[in-house]
Structures are given as C-alpha cells and as structure tokens.
Amino acid sequence: MSTLEPLPLYLVDAFAERPFSGNPAAVCLVDAWPDDAWLQSVAAELKHSETAFVRPGPKSFDLRWFTPALEVDLCGHATLASACVLWHTGRAAVDEPIRFSTRSGILTAREQGGKIGLDFPLDPQTETRAPPGLLEALGVEAKYVGQGRFDFLVELASEAELRRMAPDFVRLAAVDCRGVIVTARSSGAPFDFVSRFFAPASGVDEDPVTGSAHCTLAHFWQKRLGRDRFQAYQASRRGGVVGVSIDGDRVLLTGRAVLVFEGRLRAGASP
C-alpha cells in the first residue's frame, strides 16, 4: 500500500446496548501489515483503550490489539468490535463463525440472535498475596486476592464499595501486571457479579468494559458460586453487560455491538 492510500476505519461501542455506552474500540482494516511503530502510533492517536487491526488470511483473519501505549495479548471488546465490522462490510458471512488468528491462538466469533458470542480461553486464577502497594493504590480492604495470566483480581465485600472506589492511578501503575480486576457480588438481579478494571501501566486508567478480564472472573465466580453461567455487569461510568458461560477450558462471552462511525484513515502506511 502506498503512503497516501486511505484505510477503512470504524468505531464500535462493544458490550453496549445503545450508542455511547459500553467500550469504544477502533477497528482498522489492512491488506498487509504496516510496521509496528505505525500501528502503535495510530492507537496512540486514536486514544481508545484498544485499537484493533484486522488483516484477511487464507483461513482466518489476523487480529492484533493495541492500547495507546503497547500491544496486548488478548482483548475481548475489540474482538467483538472487529466481528461487527467484518459482518457490516460483508468481509465475513453472518451465518458462519469468524476465525481470528491472534497472539492468544485461534479465537472465534459467532452471531447469536443479535448478540455476538466470543470463544475465548479460560484464565484460571489462584489465590496470592497482594503485592506491595496494590491495595493502598486501590484504597480498599480485600476480601480475596488472586492472580491470573495477565491481571490481579481483588474481591471486595460489596458492590457499593466497588462503585465508590477512586484509585490512585500513579501508584497503581507501579504494580507489575497488565491490570487489576476488582469484583464483588451484585447487589441484585439481573446480575450475578459486578467488576471494574484498571490498567494504568498499559496506558488505560479505567477500561469501560473488559472482555478478557471476564476470562479470569469466570473462573473465580465458578469456584465461588459453583455455577458455569453468569450475567455480569462492568460498573464503569459507561457500563456494559457481559454474558459468561464456561465450557471446560473455554469461556463464551456474549454481548452486543453498535457501529458508531465509519470513515477513512488518510495516514496510510507502507508494509
């Protein structure tokens, strides 16, 4: 591609019931991979918690995710957004699953009666001691602390405590991890548990709705409640609903996506 060739660019609100809720993700479609510095520059320019870059392959779509600061190994909401865009543009058939080749292996997305289902790996967490500074930065007393592949998980005693948290993001950025999941039992129906997600070290102070965090939350609440299916709510300012179902070592995450914007990125790049 030439340096002047515009690229298709979309903005999708993921895990959203309506526009301007859920978690906004940018999706950029490319025919060949630009260099990594250009990909990171686009993500930094757009300033969303994740920008997804999608390239067609012979049997699957290659998918990469970038925060404004770095590339990540797994992202749920930007995968959901990418599936929405591929169906919207006709690059994928709605009646067939989409296969994404990613740094976390093959992930699939399926249309499910107006929602999108994502087949992701379960991320088992184990109980651990809170690292120095974690609880102080969050400003909470933990009922439980665990650690998964990417993140620490902190359980609080109530939803009310979770909602009124005001972390010190400068101190939290010093904790060695991708991010911190904070969770509690929901105070009432229709949700089973609530959560918030903070990742200042990754360039995102608070993520509005974090699909990948629910791979860890699924394991935690399965052990805590003895169930395999949940309705979850991420209690950020924008908020978002995530359906969670566990099948062995996989998690099905379901949610809605709303296409908000489509246009052209004029700062094309050479591969």
Catalytic one of 17, 45, 50, 262? 50
Cβ atoms of 125 and 147 within 8 Å: the answer is: yes
What's the rounded Cα separation, in Å, for the pair 156 and 161?
A: 7
Instruction: Give me the DSSP letters along 82-132.
Output: HHHHHHHTTSS-TTSPEEEEETTEEEEEEEETTEEEEEEE----EE-PPPT
Do residues 118 and 108 lie in contact, with contact meaning Cβ atoms separated by under 8 Å? yes
50 is catalytic: yes
Q: Which residues contact 271 (CB under 8 A, 6 or more apart)?
A: 1, 32, 33, 34, 35
Pairing of β 50-56 and β 115-121 = unpaired
Give just the sign of the alpha carbon dihedral 190, 16, 143, 129. positive
Cα dist from 128 to 10, 142, 160, 192, whole Å:
40, 12, 24, 24
Q: What residues are labeled active site?
A: 50
